[in-house]
Chain A
């Protein structure tokens, strides 16, 4: 089958899948099964976090540039698009609704808002990236953090977008939008990483000086990765703002940037599937911990009976929900202590795992040596020696 047909088919399958899942994301659902709103909300937020984590992974995981400013670009995207949808979208939608129908006009307008949000975030990324990417390591980290805080304070002082009181935004986002853009983000980042640009980015991560010596324009590639990453963060911000339908600059404090970094480090830096896994874990874990107390209590009462539970245990379980963030932080430390390379390391999770386990052991390689296990395996024989590529 030709590649193009294959890809179109894959796209069709994904779209159909997303539409089907979208049907389940309401209380009525499909065939009587529906996801409760609480979980539907968590799933949508997970999708947005996947966009943010995968995009940050491009600059931090693959290019090795440490950025703590992702929330800032998210804020730029969210607020710039919200400005559009709040002040102009309604009128535009009505004026074109007669021509192409209300639903399509709605879709078109939000698509435009996402484009604008991403574009403005990309420009912000360019403005921030050009000066700061001259710096390295922790200095770059603190400057990106600084820019994000400055962006936040500037937004706080723009009265047109609500300033300190917050900004009410129409709720356009649903699961379908988030799912579609999460897939787009993953595909785009995957393709970048597996292209010649991706190889340049990874070479910068492994050794910037060596990469430069090999003729790679490191500044250009770093800025490129940074701008793409910012645009996607902006996209995540647009979806986030139009989902919660209320924007406050408190949502974009540096703790939010930390959260995204935690996702990619937890999943394994430089692993696409790791970033996705990290996003899922970090979104669900605090919420699951919220339910831990009641769940344990009902489990216990089903074993020994509700009246037999000692009072201190009962009180402890009742209090557990208050300590969910404590448990979350403790778990984070424990994971880092026991698995410092993240859950997946630099590997990718997939069907190829089954095949790979029969080949040369993975553990011999130094951590972070290669992200493109597919390529390296093609070039190396099972005993680890590089094969000379004779044409």
Chain B
């Protein structure tokens, strides 16, 4: 029982990270029908901006809550700018062309970001400074939850609620929903669709950067290629929940996080090697799509942004 609770806690931690990244995928897809393959790299960029910020601003020397907040917000802002720049210079000019063209451009942007980072910083992993004094609390007997896990839960829940508020209670959010419903109609109704698409990229990128900094607190190793697999799994999470659907992305992320942790934790008991960790997300996705071709929460009347 103790280990089970522990596995669930660890799974939800990983899942919250996936969920934060998946939100960006799902928002962009909801509006542009574009699989933004560069999104996983934005997560990496966020982690690296956090890394450099904490050294430049002198927060790397000792853990402090102020340092953490500054680094987190700083990297979110920086990633939002990067996301907006990518949208402006790479995706906007080709928006009207075939899907395949936009997809290849997205792959090109992803390769560009990765290779710029590898060429500039080298592919070797770096240790992210500890911004939070590590401490763990026991619950339910032997299960433990660390401070960084609590941080991940708190920040991701806060950001998800904030996103929900932006989408449903603000004017920008209404416009985002309108654009995702029908871009041309929204344009005719006076919505500045270019601005709204830009805002969507900014929001998604900021969430991914937050995920990057939070992961680096939980598992302090960052490298320029860290976004590839994580980004791919987050995308799988978005599809699993029903792409374009915001609660779906969160659900999909948490499910995949838990499934992965369980494969590592319990897989060996039933003969599944731990390396299947990377395959389980895809296996779940395939099984779900066979029975629900639009994902878990995707329905005919989709709630898309």
Contacts and interface: CB of A to CB of B under 8 A. Distances in A.
A42 B243 CA distance: 40
A340 B101 contact: yes
B276 A146 contact: no
B23 interface: no
A88 to B, nearest CB: 27
B101 A265 contact: yes
Given A135-B289, A143-B289, A340-B98, A332 B111 contact: yes
B101 to A, nearest CB: 4
Contacts of B109: 329, 333
B68 to A, nearest CB: 32
A139 B294 CA distance: 8
A139 B90 contact: no
Interface in A145-162: 145-147, 149-150, 152-154, 156-157
Contacts of B276: 153, 157
Question: Chain A, interface size: which category?
Answer: 35 or more
Interface stretch (A6-14, A231-239, A320-328): A320-328
Contacts of A325: 111, 115, 118-119
Interface in A237-264: 254-255, 258, 261-262
Contact of A142 (B118, B228, B236, B294): B236
Interface in B94-121: 94, 97-101, 103-105, 107-109, 111-112, 115-116, 118-119
A164 B275 CA distance: 10
A167 interface: no
Contact of A367 (B33, B98, B103, B119): B98
A102 B73 CA distance: 70
Contacts of A368: 98
A139 B108 contact: no
Contact of A135 (B33, B35, B112, B293): B293
B243 A138 contact: yes
Contact of A143 (B90, B111, B228, B286): B286
A132 interface: yes
Nearest to A136: B293
A134 interface: yes
Contacts of A145: 232, 282
A336 interface: yes
Which 8 residue pairs spanning A and B have beta carbons closest together? Answer: A146-B282, A329-B112, A153-B279, A329-B111, A332-B108, A340-B97, A325-B115, A340-B101
Given A139-B293, A265-B104, 20 more contacts: A66-B100, A132-B286, A138-B243, A139-B239, A142-B236, A142-B285, A147-B286, A154-B279, A164-B275, A255-B228, A261-B104, A269-B100, A325-B115, A328-B115, A332-B104, A333-B90, A333-B105, A336-B108, A337-B105, A340-B98
